[in-house]
Amino acid sequence: GAGVSQSPSNKVTEKGKDVELRCDPISGHTALYWYRQSLGQGLEFLIYFQGNSAPDKSGLPSDRFSAERTGGSVSTLTIQRTQQEDSAVYLCASSLLGRNQPQHFGDGTRLSIL
């Protein structure tokens, strides 16, 4: 079946611009995660959605970052007034509900801020 799909795969933009990154999770997965990975580093948790519950936004680095999940499916991560330090790969994952359910990742969006 289809895996987690992210778009665009690459995004280059100028400092100060806003960007939107999209994630299509696996159908039926109620949990959705966003992570950020800088070059040569591990994954940094950003935000978690689970069904209709309030999202866990504890990993968002600043108020320039926000995310939505519409209809319990597609999610968008928005970065306003981008800065050069926002350059990274943004990864989305989805899973079934449950503490130890494996997460299925997309291949990410590589964001470059000029």
Partner 1 sequence: LAKTTQPISMDSYEGQEVNITCSHNNIATNDYITWYQQFPSQGPRFIIQGYKTKVTNEVASLFIPADRKSSTLSLPRVSLSDTAVYYCLVGLNQAGTALIFGKGTTLSVSS
DSSP E strands in the chain: the ranges are: 5-7, 10-13, 19-24, 31-37, 43-50, 65-69, 75-79, 88-95, 104-105, 109-113
- Which positions ≥6 away from 19 have C-beta within 8 Å? 11, 13, 78, 79, 82, 111
For the bound state, the minimum distance from the C-beta of residue 93 to partner 1, rounded and expressed in Å, comes to 7
Q: Given the complex with partner 1, which of 81 and 101 has the nearer CB atom?
A: 101
Binding mask 75-114 for partner 1 (x = CB under 8 A): ----------------x-x-----xx-xxxxxxx------
User: Distance between terminal CA atoms of the chain?
Assistant: 37
Rounded to a whole number of angstroms, the minimum distance from the CB of residue 81 to partner 1 is 26
Q: Specify the residue, 52 or 58, whose C-beta has the smaller distance to partner 1.
A: 58
Site for partner 1 in 6-65 (CB under 8 A): 33, 35, 40-45, 48, 50, 56, 58-59
Closest approach, Cβ 108 to partner 1, in A, equals 6
Tokens of 12: 């280059």
* 74 vs 110: CA distance, rounded Å: 19
Residues that bind partner 1 (CB under 8 A): 4, 33, 35, 40-45, 48, 50, 56, 58-59, 91, 93, 99-100, 102-108
